[in-house]
């Protein structure tokens, strides 16, 4: 796997290569969180792994964005700083959108991980209380 594929792979190819993962992640965020401890643990592990992958992808997307901005900056022409920013924002919209989408996915997955952790803790506390009452 190429961790930082900037020189070996175009941005478009990189996005296309990860489209399936992103669609699966989007679907997984809509999955119901299991009630049973084993199912919850498996679900949390799966979502947590996605979070790690998304954070890596986010970093790579930022790299593609920085490279795109550097490549697309207007050179040799006198323009204001604001004009330069507007040009770069327009020229790099797809890279910036991907970066922002990945950041949103990562935050959503992080929230799901935190919810799973809370559910697991609550389940342990419930089992401990039940064990104390029965004993």
pTM (two decimals): 0.68
Domain ranges for the chain: 11-125
Tokens of 11: 């941005």
Instruction: Return per-residue pLDDT of the chain as tens, 135 residues.
Output: 456 677 788 999 999 999 999 999 889 888 888 888 888 888 888 888 888 888 888 888 888 888 888 888 777 778 888 888 888 888 888 888 888 888 888 888 888 888 888 888 888 888 788 775 544
């Amino acid at each position: 796997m190429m961790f930082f594929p900037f020189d070996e792979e175009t941005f478009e190819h990189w996005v296309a290569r990860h489209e399936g993962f992103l669609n699966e992640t989007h679907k997984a965020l809509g999955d119901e969180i299991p009630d049973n401890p084993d199912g919850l643990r498996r679900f949390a592990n799966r979502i947590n792994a996605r979070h790690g992958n998304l954070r890596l992808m986010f970093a790579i997307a930022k790299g593609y964005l920085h490279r795109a901005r550097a490549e697309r900056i207007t050179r040799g022409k006198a323009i204001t700083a604001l004009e330069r920013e507007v040009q770069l924002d327009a020229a790099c919209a797809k890279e910036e959108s991907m970066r922002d989408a990945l950041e949103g996915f990562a935050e959503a997955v992080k929230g799901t991980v935190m919810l799973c952790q809370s559910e697991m803790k609550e389940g342990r506390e419930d089992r401990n209380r039940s064990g104390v009452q029965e004993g």
